[in-house]
Chain A
Amino acid sequence: MRNIQKVIFILVSALVLSSGGLGPLKSAEAQTTQLFNVSEVIPGQTQTIDVSQTAVFPLGCQQFFVGILGAGTLGVSLLKSDRAGDPIFMVGIVSSSAGTVPVVRGGVSNGMLSQIITVGPGGGFVWVWSGVAFSPADAPYAYQIRFSLAP
Chain B
Amino acid sequence: MRAFSAILIAVLLFAAPKAVLAGAWCAPQGAFYGKLSLNHYTTDTTFTSNGSRERIANGGKFYDTNMTFYGEYGLLDRLTLSCSVPYKWLQSGTWNETTVNDLVKRQHATSHYNGPGDVEAGLKLGLIKEPFVGSVQFLYKNAGLYTSHENVLPGNNQSDYEIRLLAGKSLWPFPGYCGAEVGYRFRTKAPSDEFKYLLEFGMDLFGPLSLRVKLDGTKSMHNADKVSAPKPVRSAYVDEATGQVIVAQSTSVTSAASSNPSLGLQYDLGKLETTLCYKITERWSGEVSYTTYPYGKNISPGRMCSIGIVYYFDNKKK
A13-21, A57-65, A142-150 - interface stretch? A142-150
Q: What are the residues of chain B within 8 A of A116 when measuring CB–CB?
A: 236-238, 245
Q: Count contacts between A and B, CB distance < 8 Å.
A: 45
Given contacts A112-B238, A116-B236, contact A73 B247 (CB under 8 A): yes
Q: Which residue on B lies nearest to A115, using beta carbons?
A: B238
Contact A148 B240 (CB under 8 A): no
CA distance A73 to B244 in the complex (A): 11
Contact assessment for A79 and B240 in the assembled complex, using a CB-CB cutoff below 8 Å: yes
Listed residue (B236, B240, B246) with the most chain A CB atoms within 10 angstroms of its CB: B236
Establish whether residues B243 and A77, one from each chain, have CB atoms under 8 Å apart when the complex forms.
yes
Number of interface residues of B (CB under 8 A): 11
A74-B245 in contact (CB<8A) = yes
Q: Are A73 and B245 in contact (CB under 8 A)?
A: yes
Bound state CA distance, A77 and B242, in angstroms? 10
Query: What distance in Å separates the Cβ of A101 from its nearest Cβ neighbour in chain B?
Result: 14
Cβ-neighbour of A79 out of B243, B245, B247 (below 8 A): B243
Q: How far apart are B236's CB and chain A's nearest CB, in angstroms?
A: 5
Contact of A46 among B234, B240, B243 (CB under 8 A): B243
Q: In the complex, how many angstroms separate the beta carbon of A100 from the nearest chain B beta carbon?
A: 19
Query: What is the 8 Å Cβ interface bit string for chain A, positions 121-151, against chain B (1 contact, 0 not)?
Result: 0000000000000000000000010111110
Q: Write out the residue numbers on chain A whose beta carbons fall within 8 Å of the beta carbon of B242.
A: 46, 146
Give Cα A144 to B238, complex, Å: 13
Task: Write the chain A residue with the least CB distance to B242.
Answer: A46
> CB-defined interface of A77-101 with B at 8 Å, one 1/0 digit per residue?
1010000000000000000000000
> How far does the alpha carbon of A36 sit from the alpha carbon of B240 in the complex, in Å?
25
How far in angstroms is the closest Cβ of chain A from B100?
A: 11
A5 on the B face (CB < 8 A): no
Q: Which of B234, B237, B247 contacts A114 (CB 8 A)?
A: B237
Tell me, in angstroms, the Cα distance from A148 to B239 when the chains sit together.
10
B window 269-316: CB within 8 A of A: none
**Closest B residue to A48 using CB positions:** B243
Question: Across the interface, do B238 and A77 meet the contact criterion of CB distance under 8 Å?
Answer: yes
Q: Are A114 and B246 in contact (CB under 8 A)?
A: no
Asked if A24 is an interface residue, CB under 8 A from chain B, the answer is no
Residue of chain B at shortest CB distance from A49: B243
Q: Show the binding face of A for B, using Cβ within 8 Å.
A: 46, 48, 73-75, 77, 79, 112, 114, 116, 144, 146-150
B residues contacting A by CB (< 8 A) are 234, 236-238, 240, 242-247
12 pairs, CB–CB < 8 Å, chain A vs chain B: A73-B234, A73-B236, A73-B247, A75-B243, A75-B244, A77-B243, A79-B240, A114-B237, A147-B243, A148-B245, A150-B244, A150-B246
Q: What 7 pairs across the A-B complex have the smallest Cβ distances?
A: A146-B243, A75-B245, A114-B238, A150-B245, A75-B238, A148-B245, A77-B238
